[in-house]
Structure 1
Amino acid sequence: MFALGCLALIVLPLLGFIAGLVMGGQGAGLWGAGIGLIAALLMSATAALALVKAGRKR
């Protein structure tokens, strides 16, 4: 699960950039990359939080 969050940090901004570039040009590509990066950061934070909560059970 943690590896999926790390991989998403690379893949989602690239996919967002390509989708935005195809749909609306360079400006939309940058916005798409930003949105993809925010989504990937949220996924990574969620995975890290789940690992912390799982480790605290005693």
Structure 2
Amino acid sequence: MISGAVAYSIAMLACFTLVWGGIWLIAKRRDRKRGILMLVAAVVLLGNVLVWVMPVG
């Protein structure tokens, strides 16, 4: 089973990769719609990580 710290690390690496890829797609004018969707997915993933690590109580 994957520990919490490893899962958070993988999620954050995926978030940074999505942001980089989304900006790259938009900047190179390759596929703007897909780039925006990648940025939205990064924001959702970041929100999930923030909810996971938020202290309870």
Shorter-chain TM-score range? 0.5 to 0.7
Distance 1:41 1:4, change over 3 A: farther
CA shift for structure 1 position 11? 1.4
1:20-43 deviations in whole A, cap 9, x for unaligned? x8xxx73xx111110001001100
- Summarize the alignment of residues 1-58 of structure 1 with structure 2, pairs less than 5 Å apart: 1=8, 3-13=9-19, 14=21, 17=25, 26=30, 29-52=31-54, 55-57=55-57
**In 2: Cα distance, 1:10 partner to 1:51 partner:** 18
Stretches of structure 2 that go unaligned for 5 or more consecutive residues are 1-7
**In 1: Cα distance, 2:14 partner to 2:39 partner:** 8
1:1-58 deviations in whole A, cap 9, x for unaligned? 0x444433431241683xxx8xxx73xx111110001001100000101111xx215x
Percent identity between the two aligned chains: 13
TM-score, structure 1 length as denominator? 0.55
**DSSP 3-state at the match of 1:40:** helix
* Matched pairs, number: 46
**What RMSD in Å do the two structures reach over aligned CA positions?**
2.7
TM-score, structure 2 length as denominator? 0.56
